[in-house]
Amino acid sequence: MLFDTAEAEFGGVDVVVHAAGRMRLAPVAELDLAELDALHRTNIRGTFVVAQQAARRLRRGGALITFSTSVTGLALPGYGAYSASKGAVEALTMILARELRGRDVTVNAVAPGPTATDLFLRGKDEETVARLAAQPPLERLGTPDDIAEVVAFLASPAGHWINGQVVRANGGIV
């Protein structure tokens, strides 16, 4: 297992970033339940398993960073299943931060807004992308580097006072 290897090679685990995610968009009334199960298996169960291992193995001063989405605050039609799965990630993140009381380990979620990634761009025409890019007051899509900088801060000693939070890195949309 990855955690075993990290402990054997580096003497322990200091930072865990769990960014795996799956998105399937459809109205709630139309979403196939097999798609819902697959989405939940990745977004909820996958996050839970990684968080569980991180909780068992992170050293003092460590950090766990999960990924949510700013869509949870927008309530956009078609995003019901995806948003619900990421809402579960936010709840798990906040609870785990409290469960690790006394361990000196931080647990936070990053909730990107519209970010120019394959997951975001897949299936969207240019007009849709332009409309979504215009939403934030900064009037652009986020970049993977924008999100990576937030993650790096939360993983660093400078971000260690932030704990049990959802950081909405979205250019100001919610």
> Which two structure tokens, joined as six digits, stand for 84?
């619900």
Residue 79 known to be catalytic: no
Strand, coil or helix: what is 39? helix
Per annotation, catalytic residue among 16, 82, 147, 168: 82
Q: How far apart are CA 21 and CA 42, in angstroms?
A: 6
Those residues whose C-beta lies under 8 Å from the C-beta of residue 158, and which sit 6 or more positions away, are none
Handedness of CA 75, 81, 85, 88 (dihedral sign): positive
Residues in a beta bridge with 9: none
**Distance separating alpha carbons of residues 43 and 3, to the nearest angstrom:** 20
Residue 29 corresponds to which tokens in the numbers above? Answer: 């009334």
Q: Are 104 and 61 in contact (CB under 8 A)?
A: yes
Distance (Å, rounded) from C-alpha 156 to C-alpha 158? 5
Q: Could you list the active site residues?
A: 82
